[in-house]
Amino acid sequence: MPAAIIGSAAPAIASSISCPAAIWTAYSTVKYTDPDYTLTNFHKTETFSSTPPGSFEVQHWYNRSTKLLYWRISIGLPQGAEAGAVLTVDTAPQELNWTNPDNFSQYSVSQFKRFGSYSPDIRDHEWTSDLPTGEISATPEGKITVTFKEPAKPKSGGSIYFTSVPNGGEEAVLRGDVYGLPATLNFVPLECPNKK
């Protein structure tokens, strides 16, 4: 009897094997004195050439009215993601050169289609679902964790958006001080890329 039970259970176990875990990284900097500074200094992004393919980038700008830095972490998941995906910003404050992340919000797939990437092949991809709602925690020093406790459907897209206070204030921004944001996304795709 035990042998029969083990034998009948094997197919179910095999079919439930997850795709390989993925770690995406993105990094960009704000240098206000650079020409077209909002469209440059994307030092690391994930694209359809990544493994797994998708979109992950940190968009950025400075608002002279609010005197705040604005960050938009854009995520596109063609294969979706299992529950438990985690987005993190965790580095030494001097590397960020900003503090007090605030005004968190989450963008929908319709906004992702508009702002998700400056790359046409990503922006014009067939994105159909919002990302699940992220549970956000943040410290004044800039350690941020966003946990997606629900699965992301295939073709999900969205963004996590927030502001921060530049060290040195507007004077430092206008003279060209550099402000950075490195982000990491750990997740397991729902659908394995290139799986037949």
Task: Extract the tokens encoding 96.
Answer: 């960020």
User: SS3 string of 84-95?
Assistant: CEEEEECCCHHH
Give the closest residue to 184 by CA, choosing from 8, 2, 21: 21
Position 95 scores a pLDDT of 85
Position 93 scores a pLDDT of 85
Position 195 scores a pLDDT of 56
- Per-residue confidence of the chain (196 residues) as pLDDT tens digits? 334 333 334 333 334 578 999 999 999 999 999 999 999 999 999 999 999 999 999 999 999 999 999 999 999 999 999 999 999 998 888 889 999 999 999 999 988 888 877 677 777 788 999 999 999 999 999 999 999 999 999 999 999 999 999 999 999 999 999 999 999 999 999 999 775 4
**130 vs 111: CA distance, rounded Å:** 10
Position 16 scores a pLDDT of 58
Position 114 scores a pLDDT of 84
Position 145 scores a pLDDT of 97
Position 49 scores a pLDDT of 92
Question: Concatenated DSSP letters for 103-121?
Answer: EEEEE-HHHHHHHS-S-HH
Position 13 scores a pLDDT of 36
Position 113 scores a pLDDT of 86
Position 6 scores a pLDDT of 30
Topology of the domain comprising 19-187? Immunoglobulin-like (2.60.40)
CA-only gyration radius of the chain, Å: 19
- pTM value is 0.88
**132 vs 117: CA distance, rounded Å:** 19
